[in-house]
A and B are shown apart, each in its own frame.
Chain A
């Protein structure tokens, strides 16, 4: 689990963005990747497709693909490579993505 560098949040003017992760609001500094919001929560951010084992962001530089989540309805996005924006709706994935959602769009 990760927390803000300044746990007292001394700077009230610090630019921040608020996004929703599995329905819960989550605040990170402007410019931070979506994965940083996942790590604030500290739990698994997905269950693997083969064995259902818990996974979470690992490399933070676009290499490992462990941090894939659904962002604004688009599944399998690398959360470490997407800059967080206010209003984003992030959902953790269980198993493989579905294709049906795409078919009906």
Chain B
């Protein structure tokens, strides 16, 4: 076991984490970056270094935004941060008084980046913080501990669960998984897949597969017709965001030109098969469809990868447009816990470009809190990133409402559909408990084991919150979520046994 002290510890080497590290190093902060992947880039730039250097002929598959990641990863590698790949952080312990139980505030919806505490009193308190935030992680060699004055959680996003009949069958993966396979293993579906769901990634993956010579058998869209109307009201600010809408339109065009069969507003979805996926069945525009498919790729947007920050007990709120919990942060990413920041998609889905800006702002804020720069310099340096961040966020209300999954795909209507894949708990059992008056997700977990498996509720948490809310006619914010406890990733008993004494703690 090794232990070291840093000014800033960053969890995650995606856009937000890398940008924060680069900014922090510019101000000479001793910075450590812990990331669970073997190379920097996060999911969006996954494996970008290896593809650029070893299989550049594949770069065209992923587009220019992906290729841009290489230069950024190189800057990150050269910034002087202590970068530790393959490091999975399972616990962060704050040697500070117990936080209050999480309180959910009803904040305005959409990008909450302009809300939150940002006053001198708060920051005076934060300036005094010592290196007493402790991070515990595991890599191939064992368990380790680092201490830091500030912690930045930049754990990115994960795909929103899409519980529908048959979604546990082999042959069913997420669209993100298919993209990871292309990037990290140069692999594509052996037979034409069916893509099901909504969101920019469905379009992007379909086009990437076409470029790779794998024309999807079909793209089954699940956006309800009503979404377009709600999104249209938010179109005007979206036009100000750089590039998003034109990129989307060009992807749609590519899909149409390739002649991929597309179905809109699909409902009553189910995946058929016993030992593995064999077909996708659904209704679209009043007609029943059944498409044979041995590979089905699901996606209905991404949500914050929240386990780590939720395990710390900071204040959070429910975002009604993104339909997920988000931490209460100020424009710098400061949370309601002293010395802890959250930036990028793990604080709310804004995309990679917004995450770059947010990471830079967090790096600046930590430099300021540790007196490396004064307020004037911080604000001068922050000006561009703040403006860009605002522009990137202006497209979000439009995208959030356009691609918001329909209620039937957030809370399965079919009683036999599995909600908790680990403990094999069905929607019917949860509905029964919700009807009987279970107080919330934690009582539900205790009564049904839903969320008690190794994934620790990552694939059922939002479904359970929304299920209870819809049945008990309560707001999701009031229903709340699982209380997440460390370790947020599995660690062996032997590894924990070796971490007895907390130096300096």
Chain A positions within 8 Å of B, measured between CB atoms, are: 1-6, 15, 28-29, 31-33, 36, 39-40, 42-45, 48, 50-51, 53-66, 68, 76, 80-81, 83
With a cutoff of 8 Å between Cβ atoms, the chain B residues found around residue A76 in the complex are 454, 490
| Other 4 A-B pairs with CB < 8 A, given A1-B189, A2-B189, A57-B177 | A32-B186, A40-B187, A60-B177, A83-B38
Q: Which residue of B lies closest to A45 (CB)?
A: B170
In contact, A2 and B459 (Cβ under 8 angstroms): no
With a cutoff of 8 Å between Cβ atoms, the chain B residues found around residue A51 in the complex are 424
With a cutoff of 8 Å between Cβ atoms, the chain B residues found around residue A55 in the complex are 168, 170, 421
B176, B177, B305 — which one has the most chain A CB atoms within 10 A of its CB? B177
CB distance from A33 to the nearest CB of B (A): 6
Q: Which residue of A lies closest to B188 (CB)?
A: A5
With a cutoff of 8 Å between Cβ atoms, the chain A residues found around residue B171 in the complex are 1, 42, 56
In contact, B36 and A81 (Cβ under 8 angstroms): yes
With a cutoff of 8 Å between Cβ atoms, the chain A residues found around residue B5 in the complex are none
Our pick among A31, A50, A61 for the contact of B176 (Cβ within 8 Å) is A61
Q: Which residue of B lies closest to A66 (CB)?
A: B421
CB distance from B301 to the nearest CB of A (A): 14
A39 to B180, CA, bound (A): 12
Q: Which 8 A-B pairs have the closest CB atoms?
A: A32-B185, A56-B170, A60-B177, A36-B185, A60-B180, A3-B190, A65-B454, A5-B186
Q: Which residue of A lies closest to B453 (CB)?
A: A65
In contact, B421 and A64 (Cβ under 8 angstroms): yes
Tell whether B346 is near chain A: CB-to-CB under 8 Å: no
With a cutoff of 8 Å between Cβ atoms, the chain A residues found around residue B43 in the complex are 61
With a cutoff of 8 Å between Cβ atoms, the chain A residues found around residue B54 in the complex are 15
In contact, A58 and B172 (Cβ under 8 angstroms): yes
Query: 8 interchain pairs (CB within 8 A)?
Result: A1-B191, A28-B185, A56-B170, A59-B158, A61-B43, A61-B158, A61-B180, A65-B453
Whether A36 contacts B454 in the complex (CB less than 8 A), given A50-B424, A53-B424, A58-B177, comes out as: no
A80 to B47, CA, bound (A): 14
Tell whether B417 is near chain A: CB-to-CB under 8 Å: no
A53 to B273, CA, bound (A): 12
Whether A48 contacts B424 in the complex (CB less than 8 A), given A39-B181, A65-B453, comes out as: yes
Whether A61 contacts B275 in the complex (CB less than 8 A), given A2-B190, A31-B184, A55-B168, comes out as: no
In contact, A2 and B187 (Cβ under 8 angstroms): yes
B 263-293 contacts with A by CB, 8 A: 275-276
With a cutoff of 8 Å between Cβ atoms, the chain A residues found around residue B174 in the complex are 58-60
B 391-437 contacts with A by CB, 8 A: 421-424
With a cutoff of 8 Å between Cβ atoms, the chain A residues found around residue B168 in the complex are 53, 55, 58, 66
With a cutoff of 8 Å between Cβ atoms, the chain B residues found around residue A60 in the complex are 173-174, 176-177, 180-181
Tell whether B67 is near chain A: CB-to-CB under 8 Å: no
A42 to B295, CA, bound (A): 9
In contact, B423 and A50 (Cβ under 8 angstroms): yes
CB distance from A3 to the nearest CB of B (A): 4
Whether A2 contacts B424 in the complex (CB less than 8 A), given A60-B181, A65-B454, A68-B454, comes out as: no
With a cutoff of 8 Å between Cβ atoms, the chain A residues found around residue B421 in the complex are 55, 58, 64, 66
A15 to B158, CA, bound (A): 30
Q: Which residue of A lies closest to B455 (CB)?
A: A65
CB distance from B196 to the nearest CB of A (A): 14
CB distance from B189 to the nearest CB of A (A): 6
With a cutoff of 8 Å between Cβ atoms, the chain B residues found around residue A58 in the complex are 168, 172-174, 177, 421
B 427-480 contacts with A by CB, 8 A: 453-455, 458-459
Our pick among A31, A54, A59 for the contact of B50 (Cβ within 8 Å) is A31
In contact, B276 and A63 (Cβ under 8 angstroms): no
Tell whether B353 is near chain A: CB-to-CB under 8 Å: no
Tell whether B204 is near chain A: CB-to-CB under 8 Å: no
Tell whether B104 is near chain A: CB-to-CB under 8 Å: no
A17 to B142, CA, bound (A): 24
In contact, B177 and A62 (Cβ under 8 angstroms): no
CB distance from A7 to the nearest CB of B (A): 8
A61 to B172, CA, bound (A): 15
With a cutoff of 8 Å between Cβ atoms, the chain A residues found around residue B50 in the complex are 31
In contact, B158 and A33 (Cβ under 8 angstroms): no
A40 to B181, CA, bound (A): 11
Tell whether B159 is near chain A: CB-to-CB under 8 Å: yes
A54, A56, A61, A80 — which one has the most chain B CB atoms within 10 A of its CB? A61
